[in-house]
Structure formats: structure tokens, C-alpha cells
Amino acid sequence: MTDRLVTANLNISLDGRYNGPGGAMDLGAIIPYATTDVARDHMTRLYENATTAVLGRLNAQGFLGFWPSVADNEDADPRDRGYAKWLRDTDKVVFSTTLTESPWERTRLVNAPAAEVITELKSTGEGEILVNSSASIIKALLAADQLDRLYLMITPQIAGGGQHLFEDGLPATQWKVTHQETGDLGELAMVYDRVR
């Protein structure tokens, strides 16, 4: 086993939801804070040591529809361009039960339990493994106690409905804050490391 850290990032509302009552695309409590300086610096922080991106199918397809054009857009914020280039150029693992061919170059499709795939990834390679905004995979790894670091952007809104990141039944674990920053709009960039 190598010493690869398994990290994950997600934006959540003050009431711990990663979407609103309207479903997966209801990001009204998240979007107003996604392009602040604090959010962009947070995004840079989360990928700078990662060499593998892990994504669910929905995020992989959504990201594919947006980020590739940002990589070469000279008018885009340099932090956004950096993330887009990293996402394009890094090794990607996409969880899917329906895709039959990879949506991106340097992408491997998997249809297996997240904990098994992460165990296999940890045994090879170098650099951090970033579970990139894919709540279903993050939840599975929290349940298996396989996450070493959580990058959370917490927005100062109560969504009032939608899906929670932290559901009942997770194993009790302890975390320490290793970075925190507050933006002008009240958004919080938090980094939590698992205490083992």
C-alpha cells in the first residue's frame, strides 16, 4: 500500500445539502458562491497535489460539457484555466453502470464498489486521489472510512430541502480543521483531515 491520500471536495449549504429541493440540478444555494476568490483559491488547493480524479458518471458528463473549453480560454480566470487543464490532463476514473466508452481521454470506466476501486488505486501510483464533487462516491467512502481529507465549501444559505452529504449511519470519526477561510459573501472554505 502506498501513502496516497484520498481526498474529496463538495460544496454544501449551511444545512449540509449539496443540492436543493428541486433535485440534482437545483444548485441555487451553491452557484452564487462558486466563482468567488475564496472558492477559486479553494479549487486550486484541492487539485494541486492530486494525480487521479475520481468522478461519478453525471459529474463526468457535466464537467465534459463545460471545462474543456475553459482550459484554452485566455479570458477565463487563470485559476479556472489551471483546474480545467488539470482535469483534462490527469488520469480519471469514472464510475458508471451505463457508459460503454470513456467520455474523456485518460479515463478508465469502472463498475464496482467505490471502496474496492479506491483500495486498488491506493496500491499503485503516486499523488493524491481526488473524488471530485461526486456525492455518491464520497458517501460510500465516508461509510467505509476511506477518506483522508475533505475540502468543503460551505455556503451561508439554508437550502431547506435536497440531499444531505452526511447521513445517519456513518461510522463515528474524528476530523481536524487544517485550513479555513471566509469569503466576502460569507462562504467558508474548509479543509478537514481525518484523525487516525
Q: Rounded CA gap, 128 and 15, in Å?
A: 29
What are the φ and ψ backbone dihedral angles of 53, each rounded to 5 degrees? -105, 130
Q: What is the DSSP-derived secondary structure letter of residue 193?
A: E
Mean pLDDT score of the chain, rounded to an integer?
94
Assign domain 6-195 one CATH number from 3.40.50.1240, 3.40.430.10, 3.30.465.10, 2.40.50.140. Answer: 3.40.430.10
Q: Is the pLDDT of residue 13 over 60?
A: yes
pLDDT digits (tens, 9 = 90+) for 173-195: 999 999 999 999 999 999 999 99
Q: For helices 135-143 and 114-122, what crossing angle results, to 10°?
A: 80
The 10s digit of each residue's pLDDT in 101-151 is 887 889 999 999 999 999 999 998 899 999 999 999 999 999 999 999 999
Residue type, 137: I
For residue 63, the model assigns a pLDDT of 86
- Using an 8 Å Cβ cutoff, are 121 and 129 in contact? yes
CA distance 40 to 9: 13
Separation of alpha carbons 30 and 16, rounded Å = 11
Q: For the chain, which residues make up each domain, given as ranges?
A: 6-195
What is the tens place of the pLDDT at every residue in 55-102? 999 888 888 888 989 999 999 999 999 999 999 999 999 999 998 888
Measured CA to CA, the distance from residue 153 to residue 4 in angstroms comes to 23
174-186 burial string, b = 16+ CB within 10 Å, else e?
Answer: eeeeeeebebeee
Cell of 167: 447521513
